Copies of this chain bind each other. A is one copy, B any other.
Amino acid sequence: MTSIQEHVLGIAQGAKKASRILSRLPTEKKNKALGRMAEALIANAARLKEENTKDVTLAQKSALSSALIDRLTITDKTITEMASGLREVASLPDPVGEVTGMWRRPNNLLVGRMRIPLGVIGIIYEARPNVTADAAGLCLKSGNAVILRGGSEAFHSNLFIADILQLEAEKEGIPREAISFFPITDREAVYALLQLEDLIDVIIPRGGEELIRAVVEKSKIPVIKHYKGTCHIFIDRTADYEMTEKIVLNAKCQRPGVCNAVETLLVHQDIAPQVLPPLITRLQKAGVEIRGCSQTIKLLPDLNQATEDDWYAEYLALVLAVKIVKNIDEAMEHIETYGSLHTETIITQSYENSQKFLKEVNSSTVLVNASTRFSDGFQLGLGAEVGISTTKLHAFGPMGVKELTTTKFIVLGEGQIRE
């Protein structure tokens, strides 16, 4: 065992030990600790910004992209948001101990399911230092120990935030190791972590598709994946024009850089000649570049032609692919072929088609007559969001604190044996 592997093993063993204490921690203690953490972040704002400046200066010297430096930079607003995030998590119901159902068996055994924490959660993330506080808060509330491994660009910021959180946790009698910070930015260390399936219960990578694929490749531990969001809106033959314009504009333009923004518009051929010219003019006015299928180009010859790659694209920018389809079946076929199982909307006044779309499209969020932007834990009513899973195991779609738990069977008997 190399010294790095030994060090990583020590961190994971510490987290595992802490997880046993955490799983039994009263709700009140968890909420008090979260409140303390929020206060301490605000109280240490000046020093936190100093630490952050070290990271930002290094990033500027290394000529990292301005988008990355933007995600890296901590402002007073970032700090207030981290603090209110922690307070919000404190206000959520505690999922641990909830009995999700009980039933009696013919032999009089009473059988139920009780929610328990997963155990130890590894979070591997990139440049955003606010993830340190957000993830720690969600894991604490759900009774899990967390191992945080942030990007090297945010090292000073992450270390300082983790230190504050650990200190405040300790004041409520929670061991520091409940919030384990992974101080080694070496790749070898991450790979060593991903081998420890007996100590760590799940890995949640938060970052680009490349990071996630690399983690899956190396991990023996189950990984909850968020690959990408190639979201669709299907404008059915009976769609109301006003509603269509409102929803498409919102889904594309309100925040184009996020995973639940729409990337491809599918339009019923019978309504395309009426809907597309005014809608595209409106989108272009909002700065959106349109890439159309050959039928769309026939209607509007000035547009750029979409290539095969466009149907797969997650632009995360003011670009929209447009395709005219024969009917709802062709629309659903397109979504199955090119989609990413993230979020799809139908705009329709047809009861039959609304039900068909809801039932047959198996993406993680399927909407009727609403913006794709609602595919978000907070918007759907789960409280704070841990991430969005685009694979079906354990959780599919936006994940709340409940998705950081599992259930065990509990059985109350009076001496029953198997015959």
Contacts and interface: CB of A to CB of B under 8 A. Distances in A.
A201 B393 contact: yes
B374 A411 contact: yes
Interface of A: 20, 23-24, 97, 103, 105, 109, 111, 114, 116-119, 197, 201-202, 216-217, 220, 222-223, 240, 243, 246-247, 249-251, 254-255, 336, 354, 358-360, 362-371, 373-375, 379-381, 391-398, 406-418
A414 B374 CA distance: 13
Contact of A413 (B201, B364, B370, B395): B370
Contact of A201 (B240, B367, B369, B391): B391
The A interface, classified by DSSP as helix, strand, loop or mixed, is mixed
A380 B408 CA distance: 12
Among all A-B residue pairs, the 4 with the closest Cβ atoms: A370-B413, A250-B417, A373-B418, A367-B411
A36 B358 CA distance: 31
A405 to B, nearest CB: 9
A170 to B, nearest CB: 23
A2 B391 CA distance: 28
A51 B97 CA distance: 51
Nearest to A119: B392
A246 B413 CA distance: 13
A120 B177 CA distance: 39
Contact of A409 (B111, B222, B366, B418): B366
Contact of A374 (B366, B380, B394, B418): B418
Given A202-B392, A250-B417, A396-B408, 9 more contacts: A116-B392, A247-B415, A366-B409, A367-B413, A369-B413, A373-B418, A374-B413, A374-B416, A396-B407
A97 B359 CA distance: 7
20 contacts: A105-B379, A114-B358, A114-B359, A116-B362, A119-B362, A216-B220, A222-B394, A247-B417, A366-B410, A367-B411, A367-B412, A367-B413, A369-B416, A370-B415, A371-B417, A374-B411, A374-B416, A379-B418, A392-B406, A398-B409
A404 to B, nearest CB: 10
Contacts of A117: 362
A103 B216 contact: no
B391 A396 contact: no
Kindly name the residue among A354, A363, A418 whose own CB sees the greatest number of chain B CB atoms within 10 A.
A418
Contact of A366 (B406, B408, B415, B418): B408
